[in-house]
Amino acid sequence: MVNQKLTATVTATEIGFTHDDFAALLDKYDYHFSPGDIVPGTVFSIEPRGALIDIGAKTAAYIPIQEMSINRVDSPDEVLQSNETREFFILTDENEDGQLTLSIRRIEYMRAWERVRQLQAEDATVRSGVFATNRGGALVRIEGLRGFIPGSHISTRKPKEELVGEELPLKFLEVDEERNRLVLSHRRALVERKMNRLEVGEVVIGTVRGIKPYGAFIDIGGVSGLLHISEISHEHIDTPHSVFNVNDEVKVMIIDLDAERGRISLSTKQLEPEPGDMIKNRDLVYDKAEEMAAKYREQLLAKQQGATTESTDGEAVATEAIDDIPPAVEEDIPAAVEEDIPAAIEEDIPAAVEEDIPAAIEEDIPVAIEE
């Protein structure tokens, strides 16, 4: 009996392992967590406005309801279940109670930006419903991110306010995670769809929607093509206003389709039986349009075949165009669909992602619970 007591006393003395020593040991082997890390965690406890998550730290981490999803969440159990294990983003460093704040929303945002960048690289057309409008345009959601459609890129005659709830086809104009901007175009999506049904050398009927010093914009089935002043007639024209009026119905031929830049170039000059007929006898031009367009297509085909033959023979590909076939529209001619966002609407472009955690949620974070 005496030996047992002596042994116990000696053992405790030799070990000398106190609670402080144990805490120091925990600190030594504790993982270091930093804001921005993505870590696995298990749902420890679901609270009314958040949840406690075990990520292997000494104190359970906390995720507020606002950070549970890229979409609106009314109750934590819509997203999380007890004992569920998943990835979490460390949003903030430890507070005074040693507790970290987590987020699922940030992971979803990162993946959403990655996805929209991929869609832009593929030049994909996406569809989304308008959920709001502002002075400059309309708002949609793409992969959970807020996207903005400038008013100049909305191709509909409806008032913007009536677009809420309507689903639109869209193309990407700007995907900028650093500036938190996602800008899209409805008009460009329609232009692309229309352009896929059109062919160079095809005669179409359109309506003059606008006249500029450099040419006339012609509506052909809901998209605009540019009839440049140099393509109105073989004879010199001082101004397109001398030939056309707004709302005139015209017959034009497509001479260039640039899907990448959203440009449709038109011509009436190539439909003239004789130079100057667009000025002297427009009805004759329209009557002979299909016949002249057929000749244009024959010349175009001959040119293409000639270029192919010369290339096959190892000779330089011909670069001089046949006189009657115009070159591609000059670089300085504005696109029928402008790619740039007007400076005037810059202030109306909302952030794609709302940044910081609202201060209002801080009070919802419970006191740290020691595991």
Mean pLDDT within 281-303: 92
pLDDT category at 101 given cuts 50, 70, 90 is very high
Residue 331 pLDDT greater than 90, yes or no: no
Task: State how far the Cα of 319 lies from the Cα of 306, in Å rounded to an integer.
Answer: 11
Better-predicted residue by pLDDT, 185 or 27: 185
Mean pLDDT within 4-22: 50
Task: State how far the Cα of 369 lies from the Cα of 371, in Å rounded to an integer.
Answer: 6
Better-predicted residue by pLDDT, 47 or 1: 47
- pLDDT at residue 16, rounded to an integer: 53
Q: Do residues 85 and 40 lie in contact, with contact meaning Cβ atoms separated by under 8 Å?
A: yes
Q: What digits encode the pLDDT tens for the residues 210-247?
A: 999 999 999 987 778 999 999 999 999 999 999 999 99
Residue 325: count of CB within 10 angstroms of its CB: 14
Percent of the chain with pLDDT over 90: 55
Which of 20-34, 151-165, 213-227 has the lowest average pLDDT? 20-34
- pLDDT at residue 13, rounded to an integer: 44
- pLDDT at residue 32, rounded to an integer: 77
Q: Residue 249 is encoded by which pair of tokens?
A: 């119905």
Task: State how far the Cα of 225 lies from the Cα of 227, in Å rounded to an integer.
Answer: 7
Q: Do residues 170 and 147 lie in contact, with contact meaning Cβ atoms separated by under 8 Å?
A: yes
pLDDT category at 24 given cuts 50, 70, 90 is low
- pLDDT at residue 318, rounded to an integer: 36
Give the list of residues 6+ apart from residue 39 with CB closer than 8 angstroms, or none: 33, 55, 56, 87, 88, 90
> Which CATH superfamily, name and number, covers 201-299?
Nucleic acid-binding proteins (2.40.50.140)
- pLDDT at residue 266, rounded to an integer: 96
Asked whether this chain's domains 117-190+343-348 and 201-299 adopt the same fold, the reply is yes
Give the list of residues 6+ apart from residue 177 with CB closer than 8 angstroms, or none: 113, 117, 352
Residue 124 pLDDT greater than 60, yes or no: yes
pLDDT category at 349 given cuts 50, 70, 90 is confident
Which of 18-22, 113-117, 366-370 has the lowest average pLDDT? 366-370
What is the CATH number assigned to the segment(s) 29-103? 2.40.50.140
- pLDDT at residue 30, rounded to an integer: 54
Minimal CA–CA distance to 265: which of 301, 305, 215? 215
What residue type is assigned to position 159 of the chain? P
- pLDDT at residue 85, rounded to an integer: 94
Mean pLDDT within 250-256: 95
Mean pLDDT within 97-125: 93
- pLDDT at residue 2, rounded to an integer: 43
Q: What digits encode the pLDDT tens for the residues 28-68?
A: 545 678 898 999 999 989 999 999 999 988 889 999 999 99
- Domain locations in the chain as residue ranges: 29-103, 117-190+343-348, 201-299
Q: What is the mean pLDDT of the chain?
A: 80
Task: State how far the Cα of 10 lies from the Cα of 286, in Å rounded to an integer.
Answer: 114
Q: Which fold has domain 117-190+343-348?
A: OB fold (Dihydrolipoamide Acetyltransferase, E2P) (2.40.50)
22-31, 204-213, 256-265, 325-334: range with highest mean pLDDT: 204-213
Give the list of residues 6+ apart from residue 11 with CB closer than 8 angstroms, or none: none
Mean pLDDT within 311-320: 44
Residue 194 pLDDT greater than 70, yes or no: yes
Which of 4-8, 99-103, 310-314 has the lowest average pLDDT? 4-8
Task: State how far the Cα of 219 lies from the Cα of 208, in Å rounded to an integer.
Answer: 6
- Give me the residue label for tokens 């024959």: 298
Which of 52-61, 107-116, 317-326 has the lowest average pLDDT? 317-326
- pLDDT at residue 332, rounded to an integer: 42
Better-predicted residue by pLDDT, 324 or 181: 181
